[in-house]
Each structure stands twice: as C-alpha cells, then as structure tokens.
Amino acid sequence: MIARADEFIRLYSSENAVERPPADRMAEIRGEIRQSGTYAHTAEELAFGAKVAWRNSRRCIGRLYWPGLVVRDLRHLRTAEDIHRACVEHLRTAFNGGRIRPTISVFAADGPDGTGPRIHNPQLIRYAGYRGPDGRVTGDPASADLTDRLRALGWPGGPGTRFDVLPLLVQGPGEAARILDLPADAVREVPLRHPDHDWFADLGLRWHALPVISDMVLDIGGVRYGAAPFNGWYMGTEIGARNLVDAQRYDLLPEVADRLGLDRTSDRTLWKDRALVELNVAVLWSFEQDGITMTDHHTESERFLRHLRREEKAGRTVPADWSWIVPPLSGGVTPVFHRYYDDHESSPAFLQAPAPGRCPVTGHAPATDGEATGPDPQPPVSVGVGANTGDSRDRIARP
C-alpha cells in the first residue's frame, strides 16, 4: 500500500498547488499505515483521485468533462439507511432538473479487517427481470439474478411490467444487506416516442434518465472505496443500440422492425440496421423533447478527440480501448474509428467489483461457521465504463 500511496501523492502534488513536499505527506501516511493498516485521504486528495479515476477510464468516451465531476465526500456515513438516503439525494441533485451533473458519492473506504459499505445493485436505477416458468424473462434479463436475490430476501416484486424499478440492496459494514425502495420522485424516466411514427409511443417503451454505476470499486492510492456510485449522462446508443437491442437484454429490434413493415426474411435486407437507426432516433428525440441531457455518438466522438488534444497538450497520455471508444452504431463514420489509442492501465481507477460477498482487498469471503474461505481467483481489474458513465458496461465481462 505504501508504494501505491507514494505514487498517488506524487501525482497529486505534481498536478496541484501543494505547499509542503510530498515526502512530508508520505511520512504521515506511513505512520497511519503502521498504526491502523491503512490511511485516510484528505478531502482534496479524495476529490482529485475520483476525478482522475474518471480521466483514466480507458473504456469511456465521455471524459472531456472530468475536471467538473462533483465529488460528494460521504465517508462519515456507515448505516444502510444513511447510505440509502444519500443515494436518493444523489439521484435528485445529479438529475438537476434535466441538466445532468456528473457526480460521484464516495462512502467509507474498505478497512484492513474487512469491507466497507456496499451497494449490490449494478446501478442505482435498474429494471427488474422476472423469470417465468418457461425460463423467459419479463423485463431486463441483465437484472434477473438480482431480482431473484431480492425476492428471496423478501421483496414482493413490482407490478410485473417490463420496466419495474428495483429497490436498492444496501449493506453497511458489519450489517446484513437491506432492501430499501427508491421514492418515485428520485427516478426520472423518459417515455420513448418517435418524431415521425406515432405508433412508436404505443410500444410502451421507456428508460430512466440518469445512469448511476454503483457496484464498482474506486481505487485511489491503494485505498479502495467499495461504495462510490457515480454518473455522467447517457449517450443515445447506450440505450438505443445496447440496452434495448442486445439479444441478452430487451431484444427489441424484431418488434420495431415489424412495426416499421420491414422485410425480416433475410439479413441482407438490412432490416436490423434500419430498425436500429429508427430506435436511436426515438431515444434521442424523446430525451430532447423532455429537456434531459443526452449526447449522440457523433458529437461525443468529436468531444473525445478534443479530450485527447487537451490531455496531450498537458503532457499526459490518454488510455483508451478502441473497441469501447468506437460507438456501436455507425462507428465507421465517426472520427474515433480511424486511429489507434494507447491502451494501458492507470491509477487511480475504477475496478470491477469482485464476486458477491468477497472482499475487494483480500479476495476472501466472510467466514462461514468460523472458517474463512480462500481468495477469489479473479482479483479486481481496472475497467472503464461506457460513454459518460452510462450502462453499456455489460461489455466488461460479457460481450
């Protein structure tokens, strides 16, 4: 941990007006680690580390605005109820009347003797996935496992639609996980319509306006924050070309194509492409009509190149995964397609969460009948997130 802390403090000192030498701060940190096994960031270090973790997210195309990330230091909150209330406030303030603010809420760090708080939902807002007797899922198949877990813990379920909002499953240190509902006013949703096809509204499609990733680990200088939900705003293709379209998600292209009267007898008719474009038109138009921040993949590609130029001017390289930076729709006509990137891991970083119940520091699960389990063979790895911290990040472990 000392080596990681030293690396971070030197980075922090080099990019900020720090009066005292990094060696003095490191002397304090070494003393804290000797006494407790870990150390605490100052509020300024925490804010800087969270912003740089976004800057380092190699799979995120929307990093131009990393310096403006709003960092909420909530390390003093420990109980599930307090964390839940803070998450609800995050949803309200980050939505900001539709002018979405990139925001992160950082709760207590993991300690050397166990984990800190956890939010077990992959996002603060997710739709349920109800498994039927035939194995088919009503709602979002990506949420089927979490839905099963919540129902096993006592959640009665929602009305049973394709878009039932899941409650949060929050766990304070040393506590059992608790199910806590989100109030309706904290969940802003957009009914999807089309500017040219009135029938589109009859499909009953909608999506939530604010993507808040909530199950990733924020690593700053060797200190890991297992509960640090963060958001940007959506890029339209995350909803219109992934969430509503992927075969393992809502798989809506056939339904949209049939309503458009397209010939689905052969892929050569390009029915998928034509339906995909119209679905993305509907997503972008609906968010615009409702006055909610959303970007399109052409604009965001240009912004990413601006980010590259700005970072290069500052003497920094930009880590980027080409397969994520290039949008999932019309990639070849965006400027990010026609170049290579320096793809490397950097720190601070957002880490992929370990298997449920395992400590992201030690890789161990809690003791059962007095006997601890062995370490997770898959330690956390540095990852990024799609677009402006949206939710196409299924591609981390799956597509």
In this predicted model, what pLDDT tens digit does every residue of 318-335 receive, in sequence order?
999 999 999 999 999 999
Q: Provide the pLDDT for residue 354.
A: 64
Residue 292 has pLDDT above 70, yes or no: yes
Task: Calculate the average pLDDT of the chain.
Answer: 90
pLDDT band at 362 (very low <50, low <70, confident <90, very high): very low
| Contact residues for 304 (Cβ-Cβ < 8 A; gap 6+) | 61, 62, 63, 64, 325, 336
* Active-site residue identified among 233, 271, 285, 324: 233
Q: Which residues contact 85 (CB under 8 A, 6 or more apart)?
A: none
Of 70, 123, 94, 384, the residue nearest 239 (C-alpha): 123
What's the pLDDT score for residue 370?
Answer: 36
Across 88-97, 161-170, 251-260, 374-383, least confident range: 374-383
pLDDT of residue 390: 53
User: Coil, strand, or helix at residue 111?
Assistant: strand
Catalytic site residue from 25, 55, 58, 63: 63
Looking at residue 345, its pLDDT comes to 87
| pLDDT of 280 above 70 | yes
**How long a stretch of residues is the chain?**
399
Q: Tell me whether residue 60 is one of the annotated catalytic residues.
A: yes
Q: pLDDT tens digit string along 231-252?
A: 999 999 999 999 999 999 999 9
Percent of the chain with pLDDT over 90: 84
Query: Are the beta carbons of 115 and 360 closer than 8 angstroms?
Result: yes
Q: Kindly report, residue by residue over 98-132, the tens digit of the pLDDT.
A: 999 999 999 999 999 888 999 999 999 999 999 99
Looking at 60, 66, 126, 188, which residue is catalytic? Answer: 60
Q: Is 87 a catalytic residue?
A: no
**Quick one: pLDDT at residue 309?**
97
Residue 392 above 90 pLDDT?
A: no
Higher pLDDT, 356 or 69: 69
pLDDT above 50: residue 397: no
> How many whole angstroms separate alpha carbon 12 and alpha carbon 67?
14
Question: pLDDT digit string (tens) for 54-78?
Answer: 999 999 999 999 999 999 999 999 9
